[in-house]
């Protein structure tokens, strides 16, 4: 097969080189975007008087026929066609003849490819944003069910303070909210139309780039042709956002693995998200949570791959840029699937409140509440901190808890307990006391949930496309 660009060549490509050079194996998923971009292009060319109306109609009809055949699997591709852009153009020429050769007027594969990728990017990131929002809805619902159910707050994986399950889940809601905001922000910068930028410096034809922007749903034409064909910042931004979000997914998955263990027993993950052992019949392994935890590595790799590809490339277009698509496609597929699976798994995971209550009895979780109470009774915080530290040491030696201490025990620890009083040492009392904005008190968690719901409504109202 003779390539459409081969006029100045005396030899065809070496077979191994052709296979190495081709991207059709992975960029064929862009076929719908490529056809959409080409249709917008020929409509604009017709309106600008560069093509006739009949030529436009013939090309559009041919492209729609190609779209149908690809979707039905009756049109296949080969390495010799190099990429999806050449494959579709060759198919068009073979179907409608010389009129098909006019499709590429006033454009280059450089701007054509970027149109395809940006259109695909906008469509896929819309789905990812929806998956993020659905995950947040699941978290809000689960948090609402558990606004008053007690849990252990950890620091350094040590018992720290009592919190509620709803409060803990709302911490993840905030992480995924930031992830959604990053997607929204990246989409805003990505939604620029490169069509008409040509190979590097624009085109000599009198085209209307605002019209193709309107037809394709872009906010505006890109400002500089050289930047338009060489920019991959939006992909790097996306991969960065994906990496951060996958890290959040991994943190949640890690907690699910821990909570599901025999040492914790905080949760019961639904059987549909677990597997068994081929040897040990008693096992119920949290494999899906572990797999989510592992998937972050490949997305980190995708980010590092494109950062490395771009770091030494002079303006404007370089063949290196072909490597952008596989990294982007992989991260999109992995992130979207991970979000959907995590949401479904959280929805089907139950908290074992009886086991959690057992753990609440360990770790002196109300120590900070005692220190704060002593401060309110006139003891400087550093002194109250020291007093409570000595109380902990005393209890550890006596194998008891704060609630077991008698007045004589307290005076033995510090004589000022003759006049000092201890606060409510119940876990519920400790939780309810933390009612300032951002705290774990049920009333405050309910406010956070309501704020989260309003934020989702606002986001979905603004970002429907």
Residue 130 belongs to domain with CATH number:
1.20.200.10
> Do residue 39 and residue 186 come from a single domain?
no
> Do residue 130 and residue 48 come from a single domain?
no
Q: How many structural domains compose the chain? A: 2
> Do residue 50 and residue 189 come from a single domain?
no
User: For residue 211, what are its two tokens?
Assistant: 């019209």
Find, among 242, 239, 207, 243, the residue nearest to 225 by Cα.
207
Find, among 286, 253, 250, the residue nearest to 271 by Cα.
286
> Cβ(195)–Cβ(207) under 8 Å?
no
Active site residue 277: yes
What per-residue confidence (pLDDT) applies to 46? 98
How far is residue 192's CA from residue 114's CA, in Å, rounded to a whole number? Answer: 10
Sort 238 into a burial class: Cβ within 10 Å, 0-12 / 13-18 / 19+. Answer: buried
Domain presence at residue 274: yes
> Do residue 128 and residue 246 come from a single domain?
yes
Contacts 24+ apart (CB under 8 A), 4-13: 4/86, 4/89, 4/90
Domain presence at residue 26: yes
> Cβ(197)–Cβ(26) under 8 Å?
no
> Do residue 137 and residue 86 come from a single domain?
no
CA angle 101, 31, 89 (to 5 degrees): 10
For the entire predicted model, the pTM comes to: 0.92
> Do residue 94 and residue 194 come from a single domain?
no
> Do residue 227 and residue 340 come from a single domain?
yes
- Selecting among 6, 78, 277, 443, the annotated active-site residue is 277
- Selecting among 156, 262, 272, 278, the annotated active-site residue is 156
What per-residue confidence (pLDDT) applies to 278? 85
Domain presence at residue 133: yes
Nearby residues of 344 by Cβ (< 8 Å), 6 or more positions away: 273
User: For residue 308, what are its two tokens?
Assistant: 């490395």
Active site residue 156: yes
> Do residue 92 and residue 235 come from a single domain?
no
What per-residue confidence (pLDDT) applies to 305? 97
**φ/ψ (deg, to 5) at 189:** -75, -30
Helical spans, DSSP H, in 191-320: 209-216, 225-230, 233-260, 287-310
Q: What is the CATH number of the domain that holds 90?
A: 1.10.275.10
Range of the domain at 326: 110-146+179-198+223-358+455-462
What per-residue confidence (pLDDT) applies to 6? 54
User: For residue 297, what are its two tokens?
Assistant: 């590595």
Sort 438 into a burial class: Cβ within 10 Å, 0-12 / 13-18 / 19+. Answer: exposed
> Cβ(350)–Cβ(267) under 8 Å?
yes
Distances (CA, A) of 406 to 142, 308, 334, 391, 411: 40, 65, 57, 12, 9
The dihedral sign for the CA sequence 13, 19, 24, 26: negative
Distances (CA, A) of 402 to 37, 99, 146, 393: 71, 88, 27, 11
What per-residue confidence (pLDDT) applies to 4? 57
Provide the 8-state DSSP code for 218. -
Provide the 8-state DSSP code for 402. G
Domain presence at residue 366: no
Domain presence at residue 158: no
> Do residue 337 and residue 238 come from a single domain?
yes
Domain presence at residue 397: no
How far is residue 159's CA from residue 353's CA, in Å, rounded to a whole number? Answer: 17
Domain presence at residue 162: no
> Do residue 100 and residue 183 come from a single domain?
no
Provide the 8-state DSSP code for 50. S
How far is residue 107's CA from residue 123's CA, in Å, rounded to a whole number? Answer: 23
Mean of all residue pLDDT scores within the chain: 94
> Do residue 101 and residue 121 come from a single domain?
no
Domain presence at residue 315: yes
Q: What is the pLDDT of residues 329-341, one digit of tens each?
A: 999 999 999 999 9
Q: From 105, 131, 164, give the residue that closes a domain.
A: 105
- Can you list the residues of the chain whose pLDDT is less than 70? 1-14, 463-465
> Do residue 314 and residue 193 come from a single domain?
yes
């Amino acid at each position: 097969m003779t390539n459409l660009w081969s006029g100045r060549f005396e030899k065809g490509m070496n077979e191994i080189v052709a296979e190495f050079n081709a991207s059709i194996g992975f960029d064929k998923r862009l076929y719908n975007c490529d056809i959409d971009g080409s249709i917008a292009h020929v409509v604009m060319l017709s309106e600008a008087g560069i093509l006739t109306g009949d030529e436009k109609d013939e090309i559009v009809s041919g492209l729609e026929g190609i779209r149908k055949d690809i979707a039905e699997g009756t049109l296949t591709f080969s390495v010799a066609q190099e990429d999806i852009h050449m494959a579709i153009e060759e198919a068009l020429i073979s179907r409608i003849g010389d009129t098909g050769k006019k499709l590429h007027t006033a454009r280059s594969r450089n701007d054509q490819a970027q149109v395809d990728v940006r259109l695909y990017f906008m469509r896929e990131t819309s789905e990812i944003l929806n998956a993020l929002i659905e995950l947040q809805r699941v978290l809000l619902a689960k948090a609402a069910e558990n606004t008053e159910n007690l849990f252990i707050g950890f620091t350094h994986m040590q018992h720290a303070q009592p919190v509620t399950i709803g409060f803990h889940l709302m911490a993840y809601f905030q992480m995924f909210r930031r992830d959604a905001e990053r997607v929204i922000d990246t989409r805003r910068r990505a939604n620029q139309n490169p069509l008409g930028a040509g190979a590097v410096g624009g085109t000599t034809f009198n085209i209307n780039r605002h019209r193709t922007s309107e037809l394709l749903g872009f906010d505006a034409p890109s400002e500089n042709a050289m930047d338009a064909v060489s920019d991959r910042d939006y992909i790097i931004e996306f991969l960065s956002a994906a990496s951060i979000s996958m890290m959040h997914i991994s943190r949640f998955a890690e907690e699910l693995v821990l909570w599901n263990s025999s040492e914790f027993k905080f949760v019961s993950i639904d059987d549909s998200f677990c597997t068994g052992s081929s040897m040990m019949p008693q096992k119920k392994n949290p494999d899906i949570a572990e797999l989510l935890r592992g998937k972050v590595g490949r997305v980190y790799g995708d980010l590092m791959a494109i950062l490395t590809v771009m770091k030494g490339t002079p303006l404007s277009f370089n063949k290196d840029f072909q490597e952008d698509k596989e990294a982007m496609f992989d991260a999109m597929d992995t992130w979207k699937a991970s979000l959907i699976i995590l949401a479904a798994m959280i929805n089907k995971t139950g908290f074992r409140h009886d086991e959690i209550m057992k753990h609440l009895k360990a770790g002196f979780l109300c120590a900070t509440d005692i220190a704060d109470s002593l401060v309110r009774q006139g003891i400087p915080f550093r002194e109250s901190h020291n007093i409570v530290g000595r109380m902990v040491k005393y209890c550890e030696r006596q194998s008891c808890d704060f609630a077991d201490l008698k007045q004589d025990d307290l005076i033995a620890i510090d004589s000022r307990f003759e006049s000092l009083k201890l606060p409510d040492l119940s876990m519920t009392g400790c939780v309810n006391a933390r009612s300032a904005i951002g705290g774990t008190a049920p009333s405050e968690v309910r406010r956070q949930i309501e704020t989260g719901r309003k934020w989702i409504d606002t986001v979905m109202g603004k970002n429907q496309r």
